[in-house]
Structure 1
Amino acid sequence: MSESYTYTINNEEGRLDKFLNDQLPDNSRSQIQSWIKDEQVTVNGEPSKANYKVQKDDLIDISVPDPVEIDAKPEDIAIDIVYQDEDVVVVNKPQGMVVHPSLGHENHTLVNALLYHIKDLSGINGKIRPGIVHRIDKDTSGLLMVAKNDVAHEKLAEQLSEKTARREYIGLVHGVIENDKGTIDAPIGRDPKNRKKFTVIENGKPSVTHFEVLERFKEFTLLKLQLETGRTHQIRVHLAYIGFKMAGDPLYGPRKTLPGNGQFLHATSLSFEHPRTGERLSFTVPLPDIFEETLDYARRR
């Protein structure tokens, strides 16, 4: 069923679409503008325009239509399955692959590949994210765990929540970090100025990232990073926050300065307790070739 919302303006000023975007942050501004155009939004009982300036005592009604469900289909896409048993799959995701389908990325995702190669996947996250316990960004490569049944999914998700699953990354950042080790403890939330980005913000969710310097170059630093929490874009946001932006990052970093596509961030290690046996499982994969080539390039510079 569609959802309905009603808002009464107190002292708000500004555009109607911006006001609704602030109230419904999980929807893009363009999506809200589409609802306004389709007359699913009314102001004082009448259709309005996106650029209408809301006034005190305005009564705004919005009927959010049912989302269009994407049907994830199996695709014969080669994936690097590092480990598999009756409960769990560990996959080494390549850079450039989206984890699950969404509007704009309906096909060619990791989920499409998993549906082809794996017979059973957990259904807790629905048809769009079968088996997906946690995600990594499209342009981040490396390890993630996938659940083959709901019991395994719940136990793996519980380990992430309780911080007993361990995830380590290797990342290359701009600038030379002087401290050998450090912890970034700063809350993260959606950037109010840019809906595509996240930022350190006072009312954000608690977020903690640990780092250790592996190698220093003239203009870059290679880091080992450990996640204590798993917020969207957490590592990229935290490093940008302390002034060391991820190399190659198209969203938070500087303009393109290195060969390759996307940020140089790789989920290199993953460990967790097996959901059935309780045995501690640990996995490590090497850096992708493009990452190694970039490190050679940084050393030569």
Structure 2
Amino acid sequence: MDVVTFQIEEAYDRERIDKVIAALNEEWSRSQVQQWLKDGLVTVDGKVVKANYKCSAGDEVTITLPEPEPLDVEPEEMILDIYYEDADVLVVNKPRGMVVHPAPGHMRGTLVNGLLAHCKDLSGINGVLRPGIVHRIDKDTSGLLMVAKNDMAHESLVNQLVHKTVTRKYKAIVHGVIPHDYGTIDAPIGRDKHDRQSMAVVEDGKEAVTHFRVLERFLDYTFIECQLETGRTHQIRVHMKYIGYPLAGDPKYGPKRTLPIDGQALHAGILGFRHPRTGEYLEFEAPLPQEFEQLLDLLRNNR
């Protein structure tokens, strides 16, 4: 079994332990964390605690991640745009329109299917449907993902995400002209109370912080770069909508009349992390996809 250890920060003082752990990693659901607590896999300062334990700043939390279930996802041969690979980690540039991992009713054609055919030796920590997956990006978002090829690498990369030391920068086109050059959105994200299929800024949501800077302004749109401090589901899409500048083409959070693009104009262009075995900092950059560049040309021509 693999182990993740961290200290409770001041921001989480007096919060329930299940809520704190679920907030650390977008791949861990609250119900999954509660099961770990029931199974005695979570300790605070060496003692097993229940889900309703109230954390104190400085508490040392240890999670013993359960053994993975046998894998039941079919490998599929596909062309993968791999930026880096060694015995421990792999960095891949996911195209727009590809789902990261299988789900019931959608078991084929995902990035995981392709990775299984390519590697055959992925970490099993996140279960049968998400082998090697440490973080994910939405189906219609393109860009870079880091993948763990063994459990040691997975544990290291998860800890880097928990401690907010992974560099994740995205390029996006949003509706409206943002007047200021830089900004930070610090607003908690959780399930939308009125639409359980969507996320929203909610009072009892998970901590979410997005930094952005303006790269270029157009007549009715702005080209921006966003840097994630946390990694919540749909974080950039929700945060930009929250401040009044939703992503162009976003079918869930944006206006219906928008630019000619199938899905949100969002690209995970820069990814940086410390190598799990060597500790060396690695950073990768994937250029904008062709259709994204075409949108920018269209906007520049319409100024």
Tell me the TM-score normalised to structure 1 length.
0.76
Letter in 2 for 1:141: S
Q: Deviations over 1:181-231 (max 9, x none)?
A: 000000101001111100001111110000000000001000010000000
CA contact (8 A) 2:71 2:127 kept: no
Partner of 2:142: 141
| Separation of aligned partners in 1, 2:71 and 2:294 | 38
Q: Secondary structure at the match of 1:294?
A: helix
Letter in 2 for 1:288: P
Q: Give 1:73 shift.
A: 0.5
| Separation of aligned partners in 1, 2:268 and 2:90 | 16
Q: Secondary structure at the match of 2:268?
A: strand
Partner of 1:181: 182
Gaps of 5+ in 1: 1-24, 27-68
Partner of 1:215: 216
Partner of 2:237: 236
| Separation of aligned partners in 1, 2:109 and 2:88 | 24
Q: Give 1:104 shift.
A: 3.1
Partner of 2:154: 153
CA contact (8 A) 1:70 1:106 kept: no
| Separation of aligned partners in 2, 1:103 and 1:179 | 44
Letter in 2 for 1:92: N
Partner of 1:202: 203
Letter in 1 for 2:128: K
| Separation of aligned partners in 2, 1:132 and 1:156 | 10
Change (3 A) 1:195 1:82: same
Q: Give 1:106 shift.
A: 1.3
The number of residues matched between the two structures is 236
- Does residue 273 of the first structure (1) align with residue 266 of the second (2)? no
| Separation of aligned partners in 1, 2:124 and 2:242 | 36
1:103-122 to structure 2, matched below 5 A, reads: 103-122=104-123
Letter in 1 for 2:249: G
| Separation of aligned partners in 1, 2:121 and 2:142 | 24
Q: Give 1:70 shift.
A: 8.8
| Separation of aligned partners in 2, 1:154 and 1:70 | 19
CA contact (8 A) 1:100 1:129 kept: yes
Partner of 2:290: 289
Letter in 2 for 1:139: D
Tell me the TM-score normalised to structure 2 length.
0.76
Partner of 1:96: 97
CA contact (8 A) 2:134 2:157 kept: yes
Partner of 1:248: 249
Partner of 2:129: 128
| Separation of aligned partners in 2, 1:229 and 1:83 | 24
Partner of 1:15: none
Q: Secondary structure at the match of 1:195?
A: strand
Q: Secondary structure at the match of 2:196?
A: coil
Partner of 1:83: 84
| Separation of aligned partners in 2, 1:222 and 1:175 | 10
Q: Give 1:256 shift.
A: 3.9
Q: What is the RMSD of the two structures over their aligned residues, measured on CA atoms?
A: 1.6
CA contact (8 A) 1:187 1:201 kept: yes
Extract structure 1 runs of 4+ deviating beyond 3 A. none
Q: Give 1:300 shift.
A: 1.4
Q: Give 1:259 shift.
A: 1.4
| Separation of aligned partners in 2, 1:104 and 1:204 | 29
Give the structure with higher Rg (CA). Answer: 1
| Separation of aligned partners in 1, 2:206 and 2:127 | 25
| Separation of aligned partners in 2, 1:213 and 1:187 | 23
| Separation of aligned partners in 2, 1:149 and 1:113 | 17
Letter in 1 for 2:279: G
CA contact (8 A) 1:70 1:102 kept: no
Q: Give 1:87 shift.
A: 0.3
Letter in 2 for 1:227: L
Moved more, 162-171 or 252-261: 252-261
Letter in 1 for 2:104: L
1:48-67 to structure 2, matched below 5 A, reads: none
Letter in 1 for 2:100: V
| Separation of aligned partners in 2, 1:237 and 1:202 | 14
| Separation of aligned partners in 2, 1:267 and 1:200 | 22
